[in-house]
Amino acid sequence: MLHVKNLKVDFEVDGRRIRILHGVDLDLEEGETLGLVGESGCGKSVTCSAILRILADNATVTGEVMYDGTDLLKLPASKMEEIRGKDITMIFQDPVVYMNPVKTIGNQITEVIHLHEKCSQAEADKKAIDLLTQVGIPHPETRLKYYPHQLSGGLCQRVMIAMALACKPKLLMADEPTTALDVTVQAQILDLLRSLNKKLGMATILVTHDLGVIAENVKRVMVMYAGVVVEEGPVDIIFKKPAHPYTEGLLNSLPKMDGQEGDLIPIEGSVPAPDKRPAGCCFGPRCKYMTDECLKGQPKLTTINGTHRCACFHPVHGTYGGEA
Amino acid sequence: MREKLVEAKGLYKQYALKSDKLFAKRRYLKAVDGVTFDIYKGEFFGVVGESGCGKSTTAKLILDMEHPTKGTVLFKGRDMSTLKPKEWRAIRLDMQMIFQDPLGALDPYMCVGKQIMEPLEIHNIGDPKDRKQMVLDMLAAVSLKPIFYDRYPHELSGGQRQRIVLARALIVKPQLLVCDEPISALDVSIQAQVVNLFKRIHKELNLTFMFISHDLRIVKHVCDRIIVMYLGRVVEEAESDELFANTLHPYSQALISAVPSLTPDAQAKRIMLHGDPPNPIDLPKGCRFASRCSKCTPRCLESEPELVDMGNGHKVACFLVTGK
Ligand SMILES: Nc1ncnc2c1ncn2[C@@H]1O[C@H](COP(=O)(O)OP(=O)(O)OP(=O)(O)O)[C@@H](O)[C@H]1O
Ligand code: SF4
Ligand SMILES: [Mg+2]
């Protein structure tokens, strides 16, 4: 359904071009859930925005984004607009920013509905109520008359999801949809997204920095580090047997709820700034397995086993250099 | 008998809200609404709860940065609010704090070495010619090399900045360190570094910590004893192991179960809370958790449960558990 190949993004900052995405490949089947995980600044949001072509003006994008057989990067702006409204939609970490503060929730949802189908205002209102019910908002009739600031963060995110659903998308990209929410509300929203994925068969890309959210909500995951996909594969395999030293490090650095004692094992150092990338493997300076070979260049994403792939010369499990 | 360092006794803090109508009844936001607890010397004391539950306000009351509407705080047995300025300053030095955003806490135009030295100068601690060495020792204590002395905040990573803030707090040799969400702003891979540092400092200096966080994994990992807050009240208090092994309050149960586990497909045991917390301005009568509680009884809608000790210091405020 979606095949992204060698996606590269450069930003021009103060007259200099800085590469942020270094050739990302991403494949998504219809109805699939895919997780995108990595630390702040690793390029998760840029990847999604590049696919949707909503990056800032200072960005240059190369590569291929094949959706249903057409390359979205080559589409004229007006056609892209159509795809954004109909096929692929996105929800964000901070929903309030993306809503119109002076329009009621009801008006904002029915506006989207009118864009997609010809119907009377009464019919649109009814559809809006259906949508709000579907995303679990109590008393939808009264809530239609509310303005965004009158809703809590969790309710706002539900309204955002309702607006996204109004387009009947085939793919929903959710960029940190629960990061700003309390854990008990996060659990509700993730539960909602899971059930919508099941019920509507809508494919979902879930972006998060929280490995726990990944473990429980998607089947397949891509781990990003410094603008590179370093590992990819089925969640149950990667959490048990991570192949990339970075993934292994992330998992070790988190305290577990089922109480192991002792110190956490941190990853030393910190993420390099985009304009100060190390030579060779991007994770090299922080990697405890690094050898001279790792300075030769960025390792390619190669097969470890089945659909499990990893970009490391010395993977923790498997060997480097299966098929690229 | 363990020595009490902090005694919070029946703390209330209300903020008057601006009203748009001249003669309207004044409305109050009850940020902290009857909170009592002790912090023992040398203990790693945790405060958890979701946004707006009054964690930060409680911290400010402890630090005497805000004055309670009602109730008292004793630090080393003394009521801070009754002290003369000179005495107050002397005692206040024994409490230091660090907050979520290390960048906001640092002066961008001063090298970090000087910033760590500043409290020594202000409070006239140590011989001026020894001070540089004291700063270098402190840098070493927070695992930073001496070259960092001349660096400026913008040249440092988030984790390094938080170490600087920690060094500046520790250099006056406080007895209590209040940390309000000290690692939330840090990258996941950096959090473990800083958490290990806290643990080491705690052991080496026999420092008392009041550690506020919404991250239950971290709190479970570092804290000896924990209070769980909900809408301005303590709903449960217990030793860390006891709290997680034998969770009594329905809210704590939901909160703990909402933490995504790192095992794929483990959401089965989740207790899903419905709705959002009620508005702290117009609190309903009865138990403040009643509107979201699946076990709510008619009595819970009538009166507010008190925090009752169930033995071994495990306290809970829920009629169903205490029977009182
Ligand atoms: N318009 C822009 N101009 C310059 N740099 C940009 C621009 N947009 C993003 N970046 C940079 O691109 C990098 C990747 O950003 P991105 O927002 O994709 O990270 P992320 O993985 O989503 O992180 P987070 O977890 O913080 O959301 C960052 O270094 C960011 O500063
Ligand atoms: S390629 Fe080398 S440096 Fe990079 S992650 Fe693998 S072992 Fe570490
Ligand atoms: Mg992002």
pLDDT in tens, B15-53: 887 766 666 677 788 889 999 999 999 999 999 998 888
Q: How many CB atoms lie within 10 A of CB B81?
A: 11
| CA dihedral of residues B258, B260, B266, B271 (deg, nearest 10) | 0
* Closest C-alpha to A245, from A209, A208, A286, A279: A286
Picking from B264, B279, B308, the residue at the C-terminal end of a domain is: B264
User: Are residues B88 and B181 both part of a single domain?
Assistant: yes
User: Are residues B192 and B90 both part of a single domain?
Assistant: yes
**Which DSSP letter does residue B229 get?**
E
Cα nearest neighbour of A262 on chain B: B221
Kindly give the number of the ligand 2 atom that is closest to the alpha carbon of A246.
5
The total of structural domains in chain A comes to 2
Measured between beta carbons, the chain B residues lying within 8 angstroms of A179 are none
* Closest C-alpha to A208, from A169, A160, A174: A174
B313/chain A closest Cα distance in angstroms: 21
Q: Residue A51 in 3-state DSSP? A: helix
**Tokens encoding A213:** 């959210």
User: Are residues A316 and A179 both part of a single domain?
Assistant: no
Sheet arrangement for strand A308-310 = A88-91, A171-175, A203-208, A33-37, A220-225, A228-234, A308-310, A302-305
Rounded-to-integer distance, Cα B19 and Cα B294, Å: 35
The whole-number pLDDT of residue B300 equals 93
The answer to whether B8 touches B176, Cβ cutoff 8 Å, is no
Say if residue B269's pLDDT is above 80: no
Q: How distant, in Å, are the alpha carbons of B111, B113, B117, B126, B156 from that of B150?
A: 5, 6, 12, 21, 11
**CATH (domain of B241):** 3.40.50.300
Residue B277 forms part of a structural domain:
no
pLDDT tens column, A95-116: 877 888 889 999 999 988 888 7
Q: Does A213 touch chain B (CB under 8 A)?
A: yes
Residue A239 forms part of a structural domain:
no
Residue A322 — pLDDT band, cuts 50, 70, 90?
Answer: low
The whole-number pLDDT of residue A137 equals 84
Q: Give the residue-averaged pLDDT of A281-300.
A: 94
User: Are residues B120 and B75 both part of a single domain?
Assistant: no
Q: Residue B313 in 3-state DSSP? A: coil
Residue A98 forms part of a structural domain:
yes
The whole-number pLDDT of residue B199 equals 92
Say if residue A18's pLDDT is above 70: yes
From the centroid of its chain, how far is CA A246? Answer: 19
Q: Give the residue-averaged pLDDT of A275-282.
A: 90
The answer to whether B2 touches B255, Cβ cutoff 8 Å, is no
User: Are residues B124 and B243 both part of a single domain?
Assistant: no
Mode of pairing for the β-strands spanning A33-37 and A203-208: parallel
Measured between beta carbons, the chain A residues lying within 8 angstroms of B253 are none
Percentage of chain A beyond pLDDT 70 is 98
Picking from B264, B282, B304, the residue at the C-terminal end of a domain is: B264
Q: Output the CA A183–ligand 1 centroid distance in Å.
A: 25
Residue B129 forms part of a structural domain:
yes
Least confident of A143-147, B166-170, B211-215: A143-147
**CATH (domain of A101):** 3.40.50.300
Look up the domain containing A158 and give its range.
Answer: 2-218
User: Are residues B37 and B80 both part of a single domain?
Assistant: yes
User: Are residues B131 and B237 both part of a single domain?
Assistant: no
Torsion region of B166: left, alpha or beta (phi above 0 gives left; psi -120 to 50 gives alpha): alpha
Residue A27 forms part of a structural domain:
yes
Say if residue A6's pLDDT is above 90: yes
Give the total residue count for chain A: 324
Cα nearest neighbour of B220 on chain A: A257
User: Are residues A319 and A212 both part of a single domain?
Assistant: no
Residue B288 forms part of a structural domain:
no
Q: Give the residue-averaged pLDDT of A138-151.
A: 85
Residues forming a β-bridge with B15 = B29
Q: Which protein residues are within 6 Å of ligand 1, measured from CB?
A: A 11, 13, 20, 38, 40-46, 56, 58, 209, 274
Q: What is the DSSP string of B48-81?
A: E--TTSSHHHHHHHHTTSS--SEEEEEETTEEGG
pTM for this predicted structure: 0.87
Q: Does A270 touch chain B (CB under 8 A)?
A: yes
Residue B297 forms part of a structural domain:
no
Q: Residue A238 in 3-state DSSP? A: helix
User: Are residues B127 and B59 both part of a single domain?
Assistant: no
Residue A8 forms part of a structural domain:
yes
The total of structural domains in chain B comes to 2
Alpha helices in chain B (DSSP H): 55-62, 85-92, 112-122, 128-141, 158-170, 188-205, 216-222, 240-245, 250-258, 298-302, 319-322
Percentage of chain B beyond pLDDT 70 is 97
Average pLDDT, chain B: 89
pLDDT tens column, A28-69: 999 999 999 998 889 999 999 999 999 988 999 999 999 989
Picking from B264, B286, B316, the residue at the C-terminal end of a domain is: B264
A156/chain B closest Cα distance in angstroms: 12
Picking from A218, A233, A264, the residue at the C-terminal end of a domain is: A218
User: Are residues A58 and A198 both part of a single domain?
Assistant: yes
Mutate to test the pocket of ligand 2, among A230, A282, A287, A304 (most ligand atoms within 8 A of CB): A287
User: Are residues B147 and B85 both part of a single domain?
Assistant: no
φ, ψ dihedrals at B234, nearest 5°: -85, 125
Measured between beta carbons, the chain B residues lying within 8 angstroms of A249 are 189
Q: Does A150 touch chain B (CB under 8 A)?
A: no
Picking from A172, A200, A218, the residue at the C-terminal end of a domain is: A218
The whole-number pLDDT of residue B107 equals 92
Residue B69 forms part of a structural domain:
yes
User: Are residues B71 and B183 both part of a single domain?
Assistant: yes
The answer to whether A309 touches A233, Cβ cutoff 8 Å, is yes
The whole-number pLDDT of residue A323 equals 47
Residue A259 — pLDDT band, cuts 50, 70, 90?
Answer: low
The whole-number pLDDT of residue A115 equals 82
Residue A135 forms part of a structural domain:
yes
What is the amino acid identity at position A149?
H
Q: Is A146 exposed, middle or buried (0-12, 13-18, 19+ CB in 10 A)?
A: middle
Q: Give the residue-averaged pLDDT of A166-181.
A: 88
CB contact under 8 A, B217 and A256: yes
For tokens 């030295």, what's the residue? Answer: B117
CB contact under 8 A, B262 and A211: yes
φ, ψ dihedrals at B28, nearest 5°: -125, 140
Residue A152 — pLDDT band, cuts 50, 70, 90?
Answer: confident
Q: Is B54 exposed, middle or buried (0-12, 13-18, 19+ CB in 10 A)?
A: buried
pLDDT tens column, B101-137: 777 889 999 999 999 999 999 988 989 899 999 999 9
Q: Residue B302 in 3-state DSSP? A: helix
Residue A192 forms part of a structural domain:
yes
Residue A155 forms part of a structural domain:
yes
Look up the domain containing B160 and give its range.
Answer: 105-173
CB contact under 8 A, B266 and A215: yes
User: Are residues A148 and A83 both part of a single domain?
Assistant: yes
From the centroid of its chain, how far is CA B58? Answer: 7
CB contact under 8 A, B216 and A212: no
Cα nearest neighbour of B270 on chain A: A187
Q: What is the DSSP string of A104-161?
A: -HHHHHHHHHHHHS---HHHHHHHHHHHHHHTT-SSHHHHTT--GGGS-HHHHHHHHH
Q: Residue B293 in 3-state DSSP? A: coil
Whole-angstrom Cα Rg for chain A: 21
The whole-number pLDDT of residue A324 equals 43
CB contact under 8 A, A266 and B221: no
Residue B127 forms part of a structural domain:
yes
Picking from A173, A201, A218, the residue at the C-terminal end of a domain is: A218
Rounded-to-integer distance, Cα B101 and Cα B162, Å: 8
Residue B235 forms part of a structural domain:
yes
* Closest C-alpha to A215, from A190, A198, A180, A249: A190
B134-168 per-residue burial string, b: 16 or more CB within 10 A, e: under 16: bbbebbebbebeeebbeeebeebbbbbbbbbbbbb
Measured between beta carbons, the chain B residues lying within 8 angstroms of A211 are 188, 262
User: Are residues A73 and A112 both part of a single domain?
Assistant: yes
pLDDT tens column, A207-244: 998 999 999 899 999 999 999 999 999 999 999 999 99
The whole-number pLDDT of residue B183 equals 87
For tokens 């949707």, what's the residue? Answer: A52
Say if residue A71's pLDDT is above 90: yes
User: Are residues A40 and A145 both part of a single domain?
Assistant: yes
User: Are residues B51 and B191 both part of a single domain?
Assistant: yes
Residue B287 forms part of a structural domain:
no
User: Are residues A189 and A107 both part of a single domain?
Assistant: yes
User: Are residues B120 and B229 both part of a single domain?
Assistant: no
Q: Residue A208 in 3-state DSSP? A: strand
Residue A40 forms part of a structural domain:
yes
